[in-house]
Amino acid sequence: MLIVHTIADLKARLNDERVQGHSVGLVPTMGALHAGHASLVNRSVKENDVTVVSIFLNPTQFNDKKDLERYPRTLEADCRLLEQCGAQMVFAPSVEEVYPEPDTRVFSYPPTDSVMEGAFRPGHFNGVCQIVSKLFDYVEPDRAYFGEKDYQQICVIQRMVEDFKWNIEIVPCPVIREESGLARSSRNTLLSDDERLLAAHIYRILSESKNLDQSVSETHDYVVEQIDAIEGLKVQYFSIVDGKTLADVGSWDDAESVVGCITVYCGAVPIRLIDHIRYK
């Protein structure tokens, strides 16, 4: 497995692959890799001749400096995991390599990028579009793999790809969970053992809400009340939305697919956790 740090090196290596007619899969990550990331890499390795995994803690998508500061950094262990998965290339650039000058580009895909995470983390999706568009430009992948763990992010990236008419297949991959049901996340390492137990209630309650047979607003209230009743958990938002546009739905029949997206603060620090459930 090759580890490259510069864009020039990455492009040269990929050129060599392309002249041989090899297909390229890209898995963008911010490092601190776990089984969730590995599932994306495994899938890409199966579907492409060459898999490039980028490891870059992108500062422009962090609206909260403290969140960026405490984000775990584990490059060596990440590379060991990627080697086991069979990835061919790791791209781990510095911030200066990616942003020699501040990126002033503005991306806007409402309501997809303006609701939920877009509303509570201003500038977050603009930063995501900045980095993902740069990575697409450097790598020119045939396919790019993203986890449904970040459900809204996939919807925003799909919109961006449609907007620019890029010939890149976006491959959504299912959420990988711990045995308790908690969605695997790099931020989980910041939780104590007790907080991890608490956090597992989020998916339990979301799953229960699928079987309620109640209206959208009753289902919404059930989830928020149940989670907020647990000491140490506090819902920031829970939105039941059209699974494609992310516009709010008033009834289950308002959209072809309906998804509930939630963000919960957990524990003393507190750590911000996101999850979602598909209702239809």
Euclidean distance between CA atoms 49 and 54, whole angstroms: 16
Subset of 227-246 contacting ligand AMP (CB under 6 A)? none
CA distance 225 to 57: 35
Closest C-alpha among 120, 150, 151 to residue 236: 120
Judged by CB under 6 A, does residue 186 bind ligand AMP?
yes
Q: Which 150-169 positions form the footprint of ligand AMP (CB under 6 A)?
A: 150
Nearer to ligand AMP, 177 or 234 (CB): 177
Which of 37, 121, 159, 272 binds ligand AMP (CB under 6 A)? It is 37
Mention every residue, 6+ apart, whose C-beta is less than 8 A from residue 264.
Answer: 199, 202, 227, 233, 234, 235, 236, 272, 273, 274, 275
List the one residue from 51, 60, 133, 185 that touches ligand AMP (CB under 6 A).
185
- Which listed residue (37, 124, 201, 276) is catalytic? 37
Q: Does 141 bind ligand AMP (CB under 6 A)?
A: no
Paired tokens of 78: 């990440």
CB of 174 or CB of 250, closer to ligand AMP: 174
Q: Which stretch binds ligand AMP (CB under 6 A): 44-52, 102-110, 171-179, 228-236?
A: 171-179
Could you say which of 53, 87, 144, 175 contacts ligand AMP (CB under 6 A)?
Answer: 175
CA 277 – CA 256 distance, rounded (Å): 15
- Told to judge if 201 belongs to the known catalytic residues of this protein, a careful annotator would answer no
Q: How many CA atoms lie within 13 A of 111 on its CB side?
A: 12
Terminal alpha carbon distance of the chain: 41
Q: Does 40 bind ligand AMP (CB under 6 A)?
A: yes
Among 30, 41, 85, 135, binds ligand AMP (CB under 6 A): 30
| Contact criterion met (CB below 8 Å) for 198 and 181 | no
**CB of residue 252 to ligand AMP, shortest distance in Å:** 26
Contact between residue 156 and residue 115 where contact means Cβ atoms under 8 Å apart: no
Strands, E, within 19-128: which ranges?
24-29, 50-55, 89-91
Instruction: Kindly state the smallest distance separating residue 28's Cβ from ligand AMP, in Å.
Output: 6
Choose between 149 and 201: whose C-beta lies nearer to ligand AMP: 149
Nearest CB to ligand AMP, comparing residues 22 and 184: 184
Catalytic residues: 37
Binding site for ligand AMP (CB under 6 A): 29-30, 36-37, 39-40, 146-147, 149-150, 173, 175-176, 183-186
